[in-house]
Amino acid sequence: MSRIAWLFFFLTMICSSALATMNLEMNWVELDSGLTVDDAVLNRPKSTLFPVFSAPFENAYRGADGKAAVSLKEPFVALASTQDLSWLLIEYRVSEKNNRIGWIRIFDDASYDYEHVRDWERRWDNEEVELREKRNQYLSDVSILDVADLLEVQYSVPMTDDPHGGKRVIRELKKGERAGGLFVDGEWMYIITKVDGKRACGFVPRDSVQQVRCATLKNNVLTVEPGIELLGMLCDTVDAGGIDYVNGGPVRAVAEFGMIQGCFLDEFNWDELKCVEKILLPDTLRVIGDDAIFLNSLEELVIPEGVEYIRGFSPFMKTYIKRLVLPSTLRDFSFYLRFTSVEAYALDERNPYLESVDGVIFTKDRKKLLSYPNGRKDQHYTVPKGTEEIGEHAFYIGPDYDEEDIEPVQLRSISLPVGLKKIGPGAFRGCDELISLTIPPTVTEIYENAFGEMYNLQYLTMPDELQNSFYSYWKNKRTGLYTGDNL
């Protein structure tokens, strides 16, 4: 068997936005090759036995009546890995005439498993270096598989885990059924679907499935197709102007393998998106990533139940939203409203992670203010007693808002409570209308750019203990702390 090769092709649209399906080139893989794996490559004893799953999940479908397994006594071939490097897609011999392609788990170290990492304070650029080093040590000749494209079955067809001539059938797919397409190999398409309620991957003839647009546009209403699970771009983190936006939340950290992705920017032009007045999202949606919503002015945007994460530098890029409705399933508020204006939030009161206090989003215990609706017209806001932390970019709308037809935050004054302890990075950055601000004596931590680009701030009262350590630094950095000088 020769080497595995990836040939990435730009998606080429061949039909208008009114059509539901399209013939697009997908990622291409040649499965007649790969990295030969033995006990020396993995540094494991020859007796090591790996359970083989149809998809890279411990609860995925497993062939051979739930007993499919492979050992290191005989070398097998690694074809690809998951993004977190913990799973390998392998091909191994089952009999003289038959092989099986499936997934084995090779790394159990949770620190390298995105599924278990929830520390958004971590610098992901450093962690990516560690992952790259670990990947190069073991898996330098295999490629990464992550999200899938939306497919529709064109005629009833069997799915197999042996495209090299085996007749073993995992399940029968029915016409009209939808699945996720991971890659193309010659006349085969590798897809992800379910078998008996469990996730499973396998091969079907390439012509038996057709790629489907992520959305349809009709009468200025954009309707996202059922089956889409991740809307927007799949990004790790963003480095803009030397600022590492780690707390924007790496989308890959919460995007499971095989999650079906759609992105408007891949399928619609800017003029089409500007005309959109309403967006309907499906209940299959689980993650919203960068540039998911783009160039819109919306009376209301309803994030459906089932969405757990919104991530990224700007998931609602250049968009004005009068009312943003958040579901009970949303686990946190770890995204930026950069170049985005939200006039009002509505949060499902059943949400166990977040709380809406007078339309402002807090953690459930009300100790951390996560996001103020930056399009609200009020000129004063009193942060409620009991708040101990102002979160990162909690009031930030982003620079150059005038060019984006988005107004700056209207607040001219903010009252902070005694008991406040921490003001996060960029918390009040860009609050260009703010004239005065008093930092209570209980504050012990103020992070960089907390007061950046506040060019009309005339009066800043700060505890003596913080003046030398923070104020002098900001003034010397010339980050637009304020224009007056009352200290």
Nearest C-alpha neighbor of 303 from the set 345, 259, 360, 247 = 345
| Domains in the chain: boundaries | 6-145, 149-157+169-212, 215-477
**How confident is the model at residue 192, as a pLDDT?**
98
Q: What is the pLDDT of residues 348-403, one digit of tens each?
A: 999 999 999 999 999 999 999 999 998 899 999 999 999 999 998 899 876 555 55
pLDDT (0 to 100) of residue 408: 77
Topology adopted by domain 149-157+169-212: SH3 type barrels. (2.30.30)
Start-to-end CA distance of the chain, whole Å, equals 73
Q: Average the pLDDT over 234-243 and give the result.
A: 55
- Mean model confidence pLDDT for the chain: 81
Greatest Cα pair distance, the chain, in angstroms, is 84
Do β-strands 243-244 and 413-415 pair in parallel, antiparallel, or remain unpaired? unpaired
With a cut of 50, say whether residue 2 has pLDDT above it: no
- pLDDT of 278 > 80? The answer is yes
pLDDT for 248 beyond 70: no
Question: Of 174-178, 274-278, 332-336, 418-422, which range is least confident?
Answer: 332-336
Please give the share of the chain, as a percent, with pLDDT higher than 90: 51
Instruction: Evaluate if residue 113 carries a pLDDT over 70.
Output: no
Q: What percent of the chain has pLDDT over 70?
A: 77
CB-CB contact of 406 with 295 (8 Å): no
Q: What is the pLDDT of residue 112?
A: 37
What pLDDT, on the 0 to 100 scale, is given for residue 29?
60
The reported pLDDT for the residue numbered 487 is 34
Q: 88-98 burial, b if ≥16 CB within 10 A, otherwise e?
A: bbbbbebeeee
Asked if pLDDT for residue 32 goes beyond 80, the answer is no
Asked whether the predicted pLDDT for residue 19 surpasses 80, the reply is: no
* Cα(314)–Cα(311) distance, integer angstroms: 8
Cα 449 to Cα 439: distance, rounded to the nearest angstrom: 15
Q: Phi, psi (5° rounding) for residue 247? A: -80, 0
d(CA 392, CA 248): 9
CA dist., res. 47 & res. 70, Å (int)? 10
Burial class of residue 357 (count of CB atoms within 10 Å of its CB; 0-12, 13-18, 19+) = middle
Between 38 and 404, the more confident residue is 38
Cβ atoms of residues 44 and 95 within 8 Å:
no
